[in-house]
Amino acid sequence: MVADFRLRFWVSAVLSVPVLALSPMIQAFLGLDNALAFTGDTYVLFALSSIVFFYGGWPFLKGLFSELASLRPGMMTLIALAISVAFFYSSAVVFGLSGKVFFWELVTLIDVMLLGHWIEMKSVMGASGALEALVKLLPSTAHRLDDDGEIVDVAIADLKPGDRVLVKPGEKVPTDGIIVKGRSSFNEAMLTGESRPVEKGPDQEAVGGAVNGEGSVTLEIRKTGAETYLSQVIDMVRQAQETRSRTQDLANRAALWLTYIALTAGTATLIFWLGTGEEFSFALERMVTVMVITCPHALGLAVPLVVAVSTRLTAQNGLLIRDRAAFERARNLDTVLFDKTGTLTEGKFSVSGVVALGDMPEAEVLSLAAGLESQSEHPIARGVARGAHERGVSAKSASDFRNITGQGAEATIEGRKVQVVSPGFLRENGKEVDDPKVRKHADEGDTVVYVVVDGEPVGAIALADVIREESFEAISRLKKMGIRCMMVTGDATPVARSVAEQLGLDEYFAEILPDQKAEKVRDVKARSLTVAMIGDGVNDAPALVESDLGIAIGAGTDVAIESADVVLVRSDPRDVFAILALSRATYSKMVQNLLWATGYNTFAIPLAAGVGYPWGVLLTPAFGAALMSLSTVVVAINAKLLGRAGNLANRSD
């Protein structure tokens, strides 16, 4: 549709040049009376104008019938009415009716309307790619195990319940199933919001789309197609997109009233002048002048120009607007609902505490762990290495590194056997530790691993998802503005409580699944609150669509970005302030433009109808055209002034 409007605009614009050159009114205005006249010029003018009317004006003529069929006349009705009156009246003049041709008015109106629709559609375009992005989370093939144990790569669509598939380290789980062999950790952050890799073994369920960690596992397929967890998320996104209400376009409402005014005033003008005994040609010209001066040149650009300017400004400030209607509603926000993992937090582990369980110093415990974990790419291993670096602790040199599938890793350091293992490993080997400091970290939701040297636990390391530095500032400023700040997460309650307390959030919702996230948004909206949802994962997609304003962190998944109304390209939660500032300024400019675009009709229409005729004041079509041009220029200048609506780059305002 964008390409169609673009093509129609350029074809119409090219044909409009000779139409303007051949129009008597334009020639008179430029002092070129009859300078370009030639035999049959009026028929050439008619032919060119007919092409512009039927080709360039077709989207509006088609829209007229659609709006009338739904009994909701709007912008398309007004445009179609204006160009039809100008075309058929001017055609009648060409073929003998007394009067003046308005072909130049016809083609310029079509050009401006095509340009306005092209700009608007380009600025707010796009069928959402959320569903396609969700589907891409699944691999295209799976390693199916035949009855004889042979591995055969098959398409996901060919899998059926009961099939067994092999999932290798680093691969995505093809579809929902039960682990029948092997043990590994699974990264489900983009599906459930759980920031910690989830350890799973035999008889536990693996979710399609989750990323397998360090171990190979064999799954027995339990669900396929529409039954899978990911498919249910896709359905929720689709349903939310289809049922999401959109604010009615202000320009359409203004066009509706202008349509009524144009029809009423035009008809009343014709009847009045005929009733006073004036000639039909005079009465008809008065009616046409009224209809023409009501033509929405400025109205057609009032909103698109502001949208175009605000889109440019937001792009310059790291904000990508995907839904204008939702963006405009941001001016009324009073509640912001944050996802935790990857939004308020960095989505990666770091050391939150080290507990020595014997005589070994804490720094020595961390140094041994960092030396071992430097050999691994596991998220916890990277967190230990990162934590040691942040604390200025050097990692010891390790050799003979080996994974302990699903439970940790081991290596040789300075001639000693060093292991970094899970609490489950200690329990299985009769070395379970009960320490109040360790217990405190676990109660706060931290992930705890133990450092074992030559078979004896010497320390524990607690890891937590790191809260973004920007999050503290963002929450503080939002609360100063009187906006309630809440958090919704799939993480465990202790983790959520710890983050909420550190940031000073008003409320938090923990252990929430995707369907529950969307439900929580609905619950908050039910309190008569206008809600913005900020997130970055697949699990956030339904909630992003359900909210009044969905905001995606730019570093998140394609799903979240495609489901959102606004994308924070810089992944900075403080950019919510820029959204609020620009939303308010944009809406203000739209209202100003709409008031100006329709307001000049208050005095122009009565003059066009002939109110001043008894006193010798009669608004000519040329003067009416000048008024319309002035209105369009004022609208364009006012839209440009949006760039002065505050310094968005300074987010401390």
Give the residue numbers annotated as catalytic, written as ranges.
339
Both tokens of 131, joined, read: 């569903």
Say if strands 141-145 and 198-200 run parallel, antiparallel, or are unpaired. unpaired
CB burial class (10 A; 0-12, 13-18, 19+) of residue 601? buried
What order do you get walking across the sheet with 164-167 strand by strand? 151-155, 141-145, 164-167, 217-221, 177-181, 205-206
d(C-alpha 579, C-alpha 323), whole Å: 13
Q: Where are the beta strands (DSSP E) in 306-446?
A: 319-321, 335-339, 345-356, 399-404, 408-413, 416-421
Residue of 614, 639, 609, 637 lying closest to 624 (CA atoms): 609
The DSSP symbol for 147 reads T
Q: Dihedral angle at the C-alpha atoms of 563, 568, 571, 572, nearest 10 degrees?
A: -130
Q: What is the CA radius of gyration of the chain?
A: 34
Supply φ then ψ for residue 87, to 5 degrees.
Answer: -70, -50
Residue type, position 76, single letter: M
d(C-alpha 11, C-alpha 584), whole Å: 37
In b/e form, how buried is each residue of 365-388, taking b as 16+ CB within 10 angstroms? bbbbbbbbbbbbebbbbbbbbbbb
